[in-house]
């Protein structure tokens, strides 16, 4: 049974097809409104996540399907000690497809090996979150018109940010992408991604601690949150934090067609004053996430022979 646990479970061709379907859904929503009639998505959320769960649920409803599930481990049999494997087997009897979020890394993989229906990883700890990456890719495609040939800056926590790691992996299959890594030294992109993804795929990259100096070169800016708990000293955190907050002043020298992305939730790393700037794409990104989830649900249900 085909599942999507990691963004690299999808080939470049498949991702391009998903993007094409999502763009068609945007143009012709009525054409898709009955595609999943009579089908059920089980949203198994072992930890709270408002946006991702509601995105999956609205995606399934807009395809004409139904949704069952739970939104925290306390309201599931996990609180009684049921294993992920057993939960996956049981839910396979009720639903046609699963979207699972779990605080333990690898839990959706275990579910996929035990379920008889497709499993979509909706986030497992700090590990993978493939549908966020699909949302990011569709946003870049819609804003820049292509997924090839641009300079993308990743700013903030590049060490622990799973969305950054996944997006870099996904982009490594496209052509002529320059990567600018903007972070404090404490939160630099791990070496295994620099060597294993960027170097391996011949993606040129530069590293800097200074957002303002590189912002004029960027076509896409992917912001993430610098979290206080990642620092050893509060003083150091406070000193660095403001360097990575995007303000209208910092945008003064940016390109007029820059696309600013953020996986959300935002705390303070993007000033709300930027929200009305036409370059701010993070709320469009949320909407794009729903379209890509619709496209992915359709693809996996088709491959499973359910629709």
Partner 1 sequence: MKVDSILNGFVIDHIPAGLGMRLYDLLGLEKLNVTVALIKNVYSKKTGKKDIIKIDADIELNLDVIGYIAKDATVNVIKNGVIIEKKTLSLPEKMVNVIKCKNPRCITTTEQELDHVFTLADSEHGIYRCLYCEAEA
The catalytic residue positions are: 51-52, 80, 101, 129
When asked if residue 196 is in the footprint of partner 1 (CB under 8 A), the reply is: yes
By CB neighbour count within 10 A (0-12 exposed, 13-18 middle, 19+ buried), where does 187 fall? buried
**CA geometry: angle at 195 spanning 106 and 130, to 5°?**
35
Nearest distance from residue 124's CB to partner 1, in Å?
A: 8
Residue 29 or 126 having the CB closest to partner 1: 126
When asked if residue 83 is in the footprint of partner 1 (CB under 8 A), the reply is: yes
Tokens 């898709």 -> residue: 32
Residue 196 or 204 having the CB closest to partner 1: 196
Q: What is the CA radius of gyration of the chain?
A: 19
The answer to whether 94 and 44 have CB atoms below 8 angstroms apart is: no
When asked if residue 53 is in the footprint of partner 1 (CB under 8 A), the reply is: no
Q: Residues binding partner 1: what is the number (CB under 8 A)? A: 17
Nearest distance from residue 288's CB to partner 1, in Å?
A: 26
Reference 121, options 137, 104, 98; nearest CA is 98
The answer to whether 136 and 285 have CB atoms below 8 angstroms apart is: yes
When asked if residue 302 is in the footprint of partner 1 (CB under 8 A), the reply is: no
Q: For the residues of 184-241, what is the DSSP string, one character each?
A: -GGGPPPHHHIIIIIITTT--EEEES-HHHHGGG-SEEEE----GGGSS-HHHHHHHH
When asked if residue 10 is in the footprint of partner 1 (CB under 8 A), the reply is: no
Residue 3 or 151 having the CB closest to partner 1: 3
When asked if residue 102 is in the footprint of partner 1 (CB under 8 A), the reply is: yes
**Residue 270: beta bridge partners?**
246
Q: Which residues contact 216 (CB under 8 A, 6 or more apart)?
A: 253, 254, 255
Q: Give the C-alpha separation, 53 to 61, whole Å.
A: 12
Residue 162 DSSP code: H
Residue 246 DSSP code: B
When asked if residue 127 is in the footprint of partner 1 (CB under 8 A), the reply is: yes
When asked if residue 64 is in the footprint of partner 1 (CB under 8 A), the reply is: no
With contacts defined by CB under 8 A, name the span among 27-35, 53-61, 121-129, 260-268 that binds partner 1.
121-129
When asked if residue 105 is in the footprint of partner 1 (CB under 8 A), the reply is: yes
When asked if residue 271 is in the footprint of partner 1 (CB under 8 A), the reply is: no
Out of 21, 91, 95, 107, the residue judged to bind partner 1 by CB under 8 A: 107
Residue 47 or 212 having the CB closest to partner 1: 47
When asked if residue 48 is in the footprint of partner 1 (CB under 8 A), the reply is: no
Q: Give the C-alpha separation, 246 to 299, whole Å.
A: 37
With contacts defined by CB under 8 A, name the span among 60-68, 123-131, 286-294, 299-307 that binds partner 1.
123-131
Out of 12, 31, 37, 104, the residue judged to bind partner 1 by CB under 8 A: 104
Residue 64 or 125 having the CB closest to partner 1: 125
When asked if residue 39 is in the footprint of partner 1 (CB under 8 A), the reply is: no
When asked if residue 221 is in the footprint of partner 1 (CB under 8 A), the reply is: no
Which residues are at the interface with partner 1 (CB under 8 A)? 83-85, 102-107, 109-110, 124-127, 192, 196
């Amino acid at each position: 049974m085909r599942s999507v646990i990691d963004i690299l479970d999808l080939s470049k061709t498949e991702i391009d097809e998903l993007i094409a379907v999502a763009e068609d859904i945007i143009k012709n929503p009525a054409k898709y409104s009955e595609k999943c009639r009579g089908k059920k998505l089980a949203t198994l959320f072992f930890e709270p996540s408002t946006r991702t769960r509601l995105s999956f649920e609205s995606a399934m409803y807009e395809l004409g399907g139904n949704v069952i599930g739970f939104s925290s481990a306390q309201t599931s049999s996990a609180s009684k000690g049921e294993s992920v494997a057993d939960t996956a087997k049981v839910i396979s009897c009720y639903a046609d497809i699963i979207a699972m979020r779990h605080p333990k890394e690898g839990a959706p993989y275990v579910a996929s090996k035990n379920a008889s229906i497709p499993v979509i990883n909706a986030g497992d700890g700090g590990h993978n979150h493939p549908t966020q990456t699909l949302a990011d890719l569709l946003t870049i495609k819609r804003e820049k018109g292509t997924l090839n040939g641009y300079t993308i800056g990743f700013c903030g926590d590049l060490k622990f940010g799973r969305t950054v790691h996944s997006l870099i992996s996904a982009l490594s299959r496209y052509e002529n992408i320059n990567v600018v890594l903007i972070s404090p030294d404490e939160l630099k992109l791990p070496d295994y991604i620099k060597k294993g993804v960027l170097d391996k795929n011949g993606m040129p990259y530069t590293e800097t601690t200074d957002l303002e100096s590189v912002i004029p070169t960027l076509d896409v800016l992917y912001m993430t949150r610098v979290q206080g708990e990642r620092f050893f000293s509060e003083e150091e955190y406070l000193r660095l934090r403001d360097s990575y907050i995007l303000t209208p002043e910092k945008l003064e020298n940016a390109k007029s067609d820059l696309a600013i992305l953020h996986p959300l939730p935002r705390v303070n790393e993007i000033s709300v004053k930027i929200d009305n700037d036409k370059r701010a794409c993070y709320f469009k990104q949320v909407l794009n996430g729903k379209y890509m989830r619709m496209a992915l649900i359709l693809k996996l249900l088709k491959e499973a022979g359910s629709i």
